[in-house]
Structure 1
């Protein structure tokens, strides 16, 4: 043992020359050696540490937890994070030291101050929480924007359309919106505009089918004063000039004559034009969105629509599904329009179950526009707060469709509503993988979905 003590004493000078935090204890936890760095970390003089028990120091709150008992128990190197009485965080490593007979003799520990690292970790965790909060807020605002733009949906295919629209909104690429009349092409065009960098500039809608053929150029490109009979002496700015910096939306593009298609194509390609009767070339900066309910490819084959214009428009096509294929959305839209027009006309109205069933079963050939117009009509014309089947127009009372359940006046209303509910649940289950997703799409709770699946034997 004297030889061991001698060797240790010979290394004492080397020990104190180190700038690291080193502490040596015996098997009882009594501190035998400390460096000056160790005492400065704990804000205690070396003499006040020497001979003290690490167990006592832990009880006094100088540092915790202590590493000596861990090393004694495992007889292996151990590392822990230690807190000190002065608020520091230390990464402490304890190493077992054996004598010449291989028996555990001392425990040597050294540490690194990681206080700043721990603060940074805490900061990053807080930042992560904040980022999650911001993501959720952006998601909420995104959904709110859908509603603000008149687009209300939980249908998967419609949400896919919105996702594509959101992606292409960021860049000035030509978009062609396809779909039946009344599906919401104009609303989707406005949504793209409102999500784009041009959102603070004009959104100019041109209904190509509503402008008389003889007046199209004058309305579209504008005209110089006195250029034709009846023209204003001061001239007039065209719709395309009003779109400067913003979005030009050409609705019902399929209605353009071949003569006007040529001029619109040249305008789209060059983004320049002449007013009617003018000689000055005018430039305009705009983003183009077009829409049609006609099959343009068929029109191209029939030589009624220019192929070059078709390809110019059809860079990013987005096909909006008809309302009859969005059964999940019908109930949402009914509730939305009922609330909207009740507030607009200051008439609180509700639908009884028979009316709701009839509306859910309708084909809605006019899509969202037809549904909106009908709801406003019955809100205004119904004589009582509860809208009954007698308040519906005859066309909607008598109309049936191919996929709706029919009772022919023999099946109780309650059973018919159950059939409708089961059909909606089956369609949702086919489209969505989890009951949570089904619940979100249908606007009910997840336990309700599970209960209804069990009730209807849906697996």
Structure 2
């Protein structure tokens, strides 16, 4: 086979390929191209031969150029090139060596990945849209919780809310656990309002507040003339009133042993007799119980029935104390301040030093104690700005001076600025986005952005 026929055969092979193939010398002069190359760039392929890739880049035909990269690196190079038609090409350049082992040509080939790039951009935009929708849903859920009086910025409370939403979908018995004042009854109402029974009644029974002698009459009701002093028309009991809704037995740990077996029977059979009655009354309710006591310990001490405990404790939900969910304190403060401003028709603001003291207080009385303190501050403060002077002495004494960043070379506003900056830095590290930071700190997202610019937090 002659060199001429070999040459023609190579040319035929080159032009039969459906890819963009281009051969240059080391100076970037185009020596050979495939027919498809011209179609990629919107020109005649033959018109490219003899031209410099540097000149073609300057004319905007494609960018960046491959030849100088391959010459410099002396190895295979792959990157994305953009054409004058806006196409995205995945271009690969390969060095070609002569018989002396010297590089003397650069061969490049490409694949049109414009559609892939479009898909990638589409996926990125979809991810951004999903993140935006997720943020909106988080804000909406946060508003719903806020309107319910529940703050759940902390990871601990988010788990509580997640479990509560799951159990609200089914009529499973729930036992809400937690210290006094953490908001057990509020969570029980939240579960009820998210359930299919939300249009039915929510009947709350404080098992520790009903006198022992009146317990059966209050819980089960009574028939006319059941006992002396009874209403002549009889009375519907609390359990009967819960029909179609939720029965919430608060402070279940205070229920005397003598009454526990009666409650157990109602839970098991969903029927009971009124005091003095002979006709069984069927009732349909969803049961939620709550206690701040250790029922397992009460069982060991023979103060609580084990069979009742297992009936109640199908799904336990423990609300953490306020001191273990510090991310919720500031949002709680703003929620309560707004509520008491509306209640007493007073406009109030909290000095930052007051917020600092409230953040570092131990809150043994939990949310109930915080409610008490905020209401007192709104009522007794003589001016719009509530200052540390209005705080109870025991709160002032409980906060260690070491917890307050004192610097003799700084004024109080300067120290408060430093404290604000530290809080923002910690919040950004933990929550990543300004939306989540705003939710955690209980202020608006624009306020977060403004404060970050103020402290030059990028």
State whether residues 226 and 235 of structure 1, in contact with CA within 8 Å, keep that contact through their aligned partners in structure 2. Answer: no
- Structure 2, unmatched stretches of 5+, are 407-421, 431-436, 452-458
- Equivalenced residue count is 411
Aligned to 1:428: none
1:335-346 alignment, distance < 5 Å: 336-346=335-345
Aligned to 1:208: 206
Moved more, 434-443 or 171-180: 434-443
Task: Summarize the Cα distance change of 1:221–1:109 in structure 2 as closer, same or farther, 3 Å threshold.
Answer: farther
Residue 34 of structure 1: how far off its partner (Å): 2.8
Moved more, 13-22 or 368-377: 368-377
Q: What CA distance in whole angstroms lies between the structure 1 residues aligned with 2:4 and 2:214?
A: 110
Task: Summarize the Cα distance change of 1:96–1:443 in structure 2 as closer, same or farther, 3 Å threshold.
Answer: same
Q: What CA distance in whole angstroms lies between the structure 1 residues aligned with 2:133 and 2:293?
A: 42
* 2:156 pairs with 1:160: yes
Select the residue among 239, 242, 256 that pairs with 1:240: 242
Residue 113 of structure 1: how far off its partner (Å): 0.8
Measured against aligned partners, the alpha-carbon deviations of 1:397-419 in whole angstroms (never above 9, x if no partner) come to: 6xx59x946xxxxxxxxxx9845
Residue 292 of structure 1: how far off its partner (Å): 1.8
Q: Could you tell me the TM-score, scaled by structure 2's length?
A: 0.69
SS for the counterpart of 2:31 is strand
Task: Summarize the Cα distance change of 1:232–1:108 in structure 2 as closer, same or farther, 3 Å threshold.
Answer: farther
Measured against aligned partners, the alpha-carbon deviations of 1:99-131 in whole angstroms (never above 9, x if no partner) come to: 444443433222111000011111222223333
State whether residues 352 and 387 of structure 1, in contact with CA within 8 Å, keep that contact through their aligned partners in structure 2. Answer: yes
State whether residues 31 and 50 of structure 1, in contact with CA within 8 Å, keep that contact through their aligned partners in structure 2. Answer: yes
State whether residues 23 and 33 of structure 1, in contact with CA within 8 Å, keep that contact through their aligned partners in structure 2. Answer: yes
Residue 386 of structure 1: how far off its partner (Å): 6.7
Aligned to 1:181: 180
State whether residues 205 and 248 of structure 1, in contact with CA within 8 Å, keep that contact through their aligned partners in structure 2. Answer: yes
Q: What CA distance in whole angstroms lies between the structure 1 residues aligned with 2:380 and 2:75?
A: 86
* 2:88 pairs with 1:92: no
Task: Summarize the Cα distance change of 1:10–1:174 in structure 2 as closer, same or farther, 3 Å threshold.
Answer: same
Aligned to 2:56: 57
State whether residues 219 and 239 of structure 1, in contact with CA within 8 Å, keep that contact through their aligned partners in structure 2. Answer: no
Task: Summarize the Cα distance change of 1:170–1:121 in structure 2 as closer, same or farther, 3 Å threshold.
Answer: same
* 2:419 pairs with 1:421: no
Q: Could you tell me the TM-score, scaled by structure 1's length?
A: 0.69
Aligned to 2:69: 70
Residue 201 of structure 1: how far off its partner (Å): 4.8
Aligned to 1:457: none
Measured against aligned partners, the alpha-carbon deviations of 1:66-105 in whole angstroms (never above 9, x if no partner) come to: 2223233333322221111112111112223334444434
Aligned-pair RMSD on alpha carbons? 4.8
Residue 307 of structure 1: how far off its partner (Å): 1.1
* 2:166 pairs with 1:170: yes
Task: Summarize the Cα distance change of 1:226–1:353 in structure 2 as closer, same or farther, 3 Å threshold.
Answer: same
Moved more, 205-214 or 65-74: 205-214
Q: What CA distance in whole angstroms lies between the structure 2 residues aligned with 1:269 and 1:315?
A: 13
Aligned to 1:29: 28
State whether residues 221 and 239 of structure 1, in contact with CA within 8 Å, keep that contact through their aligned partners in structure 2. Answer: no
Measured against aligned partners, the alpha-carbon deviations of 1:214-239 in whole angstroms (never above 9, x if no partner) come to: 6656765678x869674759978823
1:213-224 alignment, distance < 5 Å: 220=219
Q: What CA distance in whole angstroms lies between the structure 2 residues aligned with 1:201 and 1:232?
A: 28
Task: Summarize the Cα distance change of 1:41–1:385 in structure 2 as closer, same or farther, 3 Å threshold.
Answer: closer
State whether residues 203 and 242 of structure 2, in contact with CA within 8 Å, keep that contact through their aligned partners in structure 1. Answer: no
- Structure 1, unmatched stretches of 5+, are 406-415, 424-431, 449-459
State whether residues 22 and 110 of structure 1, in contact with CA within 8 Å, keep that contact through their aligned partners in structure 2. Answer: yes
Q: What CA distance in whole angstroms lies between the structure 2 residues aligned with 1:13 and 1:329?
A: 75
